[in-house]
Amino acid sequence: MADVILEMRNITKTFPGVKALDNVNFSVTQGEIHCLVGENGAGKSTLMKVLSGVYPHGTYSGEIYFEGKECKFQDITDSEEIGLVIIHQELALIPYLSIAENIFLGNETAKNGVINWNEAISRTRDLLKKVGLDESPNTLITNLGVGKQQLVEIAKALAKKVRLLILDEPTASLNESDSDALLELLLQFKEHGISSILISHKLNEIEKVADSITILRDGSTIETLDSRKGHVTEDRIIRGMVGRDMTHRFPPRDSKIGEVVFEVRDWNVYHPIHEGRKVSNNVNIKVRKGEVVGLAGLMGAGRTELAMSIFGRSYGTRISGTAYKNGKEVDLSNIDKAIANGVAYATEDRKAYGLVLIQEIKDNITLANLKAISDYDVVINEPKEMSVTSGYREKLNIKCSSIRQMALNLSGGNQQKVVLSKWLFASPDILILDEPTRGIDVGAKYEIYTIINRLASEGKAIIMISSELPEILGVCDRIYVMRDGKIVGEMPASDATQESVMKCIMTQQQEVMAA
């Protein structure tokens, strides 16, 4: 038995109305990658917040031992001091500071209060090399993609002499190659004796890197699987998570595809700040009644930008092109009109664009369609609102103590479900879903796919942006591939394979590189 470096015993944590953790036991051995899995709201993030001192000693019951010593952290600096570093589900970098400034924030290489920038920058350079990020330490965070930001977070952790690294869904918003690079990094750290705890809903990644896997369900530890003793399959993990076998990852569907309901022609969009940059370049797409169309592509291909520019011009400038609904030109020039014309867009960034975090779940669900729950379009009919939103809570299985709970206190996956509910309630004819299953557990993904199928069978047209190819292949009828703001490929899903879509993305890339 290898040395146990961390042991959490009988951890119980309650919030008003919920027992988020119920007598959880959890231990990590020296130099392993320990994965923590479980459904949305199972308590994974909460357990890690207890561990890292976000919830200080005394606000939970149970004991924590790190390297044999009992820990009673008052705040996060206490845990960082002994080498426990957490990277949260939501990135916490400051956008208008440079990489170096962010890395040394709160940990400045200062002498008598004066920061020694030369030293900070040279150390940053070393750290960036270690995490394999080829950027100048002076680059502003806002100019980096999510993948690179994630690497900066890790570099920041390394700067703190980390012994145990905790990553809460680090790959949720990364594409495959960035995810692979990150996982590779964890394997490297393992060689150097740094243990890590990894939370993820991407089970294939877990299968790849885990040494052991702990499964949480409803705030309790279900089991710990040791993959060094024998291979643990995805299906095995799923069985632990949901308590039963899941034979299919995607619900079956028989599509009844009708006429073209929505079409965008010659769509051009320019970047709002970098004047000359075209983010959508002569895009032509169409969706039919009852059809689910996938938009595949790498991060930064311009899919979100395209979707938002269509949705009431909520992104970009100098937008040109025409949109047609049922063959007639429609005016989508602002969000009001887009919604009124039956177009909806569910954002990928739930915290910044999707939710009013300090409002109740019910307020969030009804926000885009308040008139439907109002008398004379003016007075909110609260009983009606309650019953509508309770319905969505049940249908999407939103885990909360009440629909009057603040959205802020929901687990990440459940927040995503609230965003979806909002747009389902707006009952659009054309629904654009941007990464609808980001951060969502396998069981809930299945539920969401089922909902997508049902909407399609009701005759709605759905455009789904996703960075997970299996999902695109499993759910869509037809796939567009996007790169650099252009549509570079179109294929029926029945003909497509993961390889063929990937190849479409990549060939184009090579062409560009060759040019």
Which stretches of the chain bind other proteins, using CB under 8 A?
16, 311-312, 314, 334-336, 338-339, 345, 347, 352-359, 363, 366-368, 370-371, 374, 377-380, 382-383, 386-387, 390, 402, 404, 422
For residue 444, state whether it binds ligand ATP (rule: CB under 6 A).
Answer: no
Residue whose tokens read 């890292």: 52
Interface with ligand ATP (CB under 6 A), residue total 20
For residue 144, state whether it binds ligand ATP (rule: CB under 6 A).
Answer: no
Give the Cα-Cα-Cα angle 430, 428, 416 (nearest 5 degrees).
Answer: 95
Distance between CA atoms of 131 and 451, rounded to whole angstroms? 40
| Residue 46 touches which of other proteins, ligand ATP, Mg ion, none (Cβ within 5-8 Å per kind) | ligand ATP
Question: Helices 146-159 and 117-130 sit at what angle, rounded to 10 degrees?
Answer: 110
Quick one: which segment of 404-412, 458-466, 476-484, 491-499 binds ligand ATP (CB under 6 A)?
404-412
For residue 409, state whether it binds ligand ATP (rule: CB under 6 A).
Answer: yes
Question: Helices 412-425 and 382-395 sit at what angle, rounded to 10 degrees?
Answer: 120
SS percent in the chain: helix, strand, coil, step 5: 35, 30, 35
For residue 41, state whether it binds ligand ATP (rule: CB under 6 A).
Answer: yes
In the complex with ligand ATP, the residue whose CB is nearer, 15 or 250, is 15
In the complex with other proteins, the residue whose CB is nearer, 63 or 75, is 75
Distance between CA atoms of 324 and 316, rounded to whole angstroms? 20
Closest approach, Cβ 230 to Mg ion, in A, equals: 28
Closest approach, Cβ 255 to ligand ATP, in A, equals: 30
For residue 43, state whether it binds ligand ATP (rule: CB under 6 A).
Answer: yes
107 burial via Cβ count (<10 Å: 0-12, 13-18, 19+)? middle
Residues 381/387, Cβ–Cβ less than 8 Å = no
Quick one: which segment of 14-22, 133-141, 303-311, 332-340 binds ligand ATP (CB under 6 A)?
14-22
In the complex with Mg ion, the residue whose CB is nearer, 209 or 216, is 216
Distance between CA atoms of 397 and 418, rounded to whole angstroms? 10
Distance between CA atoms of 515 and 7, rounded to whole angstroms? 55
In the complex with other proteins, the residue whose CB is nearer, 224 or 390, is 390
For residue 15, state whether it binds ligand ATP (rule: CB under 6 A).
Answer: yes
For residue 171, state whether it binds ligand ATP (rule: CB under 6 A).
Answer: no
The whole-angstrom distance between residue 450's C-alpha and the CA centroid of its chain comes to 20
| Residue 221 touches which of ligand ATP, other proteins, Mg ion, none (Cβ within 5-8 Å per kind) | none
| Residues in Cβ contact with 291 at an 8 Å cutoff, skipping those fewer than 6 apart | 255, 257, 456, 461, 462, 477, 478
Quick one: which segment of 132-140, 299-307, 318-326, 411-419 binds ligand ATP (CB under 6 A)?
411-419
For residue 240, state whether it binds ligand ATP (rule: CB under 6 A).
Answer: no
Sign of CA dihedral 95, 96, 102, 108: negative
Name residues contacting Mg ion, limited to 16-45 (CB under 5 A).
45
Name residues contacting Mg ion, limited to 376-415 (CB under 5 A).
412
What DSSP string describes 36-51? EEESTTSSHHHHHHHH
Q: Which positions lie near ligand ATP, rule CB under 6 A?
A: 15, 18, 20, 38, 40-46, 89, 399-400, 409-414
